[in-house]
A and B are shown apart, each in its own frame.
Chain A
Amino acid sequence: NAGVTQTPKFQVLKTGQSMTLQCAQDMNHEYMSWYRQDPGMGLRLIHYSVGAGITDQGEVPNGYNVSRSTTEDFPLRLLSAAPSQTSVYFCASSYSLRVRTGFTGELFFGEGSRLTVL
């Protein structure tokens, strides 16, 4: 069982370069999301998607783009990398159980992608 697969695991970029972090899940989950994790700041939501063709912004969307053309894939694009985007990025997916006023589905995470921008 692959679960959530992220590539690459490590990447070094120069300021201004662009790149795409790949995320794929094989659990037929409708909900997918991207978080970044920085020391002392927990996980912060960048973008999320509730299904193919639907995306929305999280807490820290600036500098990142996403698209959701299939249920399985949810790539994260850095358009012009900046040192402030140095972080560990996590992709997560869920069945998207929405219970009345909130979302209580279990998030399944990938192993993370460590990005350094010089």
Chain B
Amino acid sequence: TQLLEQSPQFLSIQEGENLTVYCNSSSVFSSLQWYRQEPGEGPVLLVTVVTGGEVKKLKRLTFQFGDARKDSSLHITAAQPGDTGLYLCAAPNFGNEKLTFGTGTRLTIIP
């Protein structure tokens, strides 16, 4: 099972600031997903990236897949309190139907 390391583990910033969180592994991924989880709920898919170097934008969120497909980043521009939550990256294991999740980044946006 491949390991996905996310950093930072916790991040607390003021509303309006920009931030970047990271997902790294020593393994090469065929694809990578980002989920957001709010308190008391299950995670919800934000995006799937499948091509090395791929950049996807979702309003103020920008997702990038590393060229070597070993890492990914999530950049949020002008953070808002509604962005508060646990951000999880996830990647499939080669040859089976297991999806491995990272340890998560807990983001708090202070109004």
Instruction: Give me the interface of A with B, judged by CB distance under 8 Å.
Output: 4, 31, 33, 35, 40-45, 48, 50, 56, 58-59, 90, 92, 96, 98-104, 106-107, 109-112
Contact = CB atoms under 8 A, between A and B. Distances in A.
Interface in B42-63: 42-45, 48, 50
Interface of B: 1, 4, 6, 9, 29-31, 33, 35, 40-45, 48, 50, 88, 90-104
Residue from the set A4, A44, A56, A103 with the largest chain B CB neighbour count within 10 Å: A103
Given A43-B43, A99-B30, A111-B41, A104 B101 contact: no
Main secondary structure of the interface of A (DSSP, over half): strand
Contacts of A92: 42
12 contacts: A4-B42, A33-B99, A43-B90, A45-B100, A48-B98, A59-B1, A102-B91, A103-B97, A104-B30, A104-B92, A110-B42, A112-B41
B108 to A, nearest CB: 15
A71 B14 CA distance: 46
Given A43-B88, A92-B42, A102 B94 contact: yes
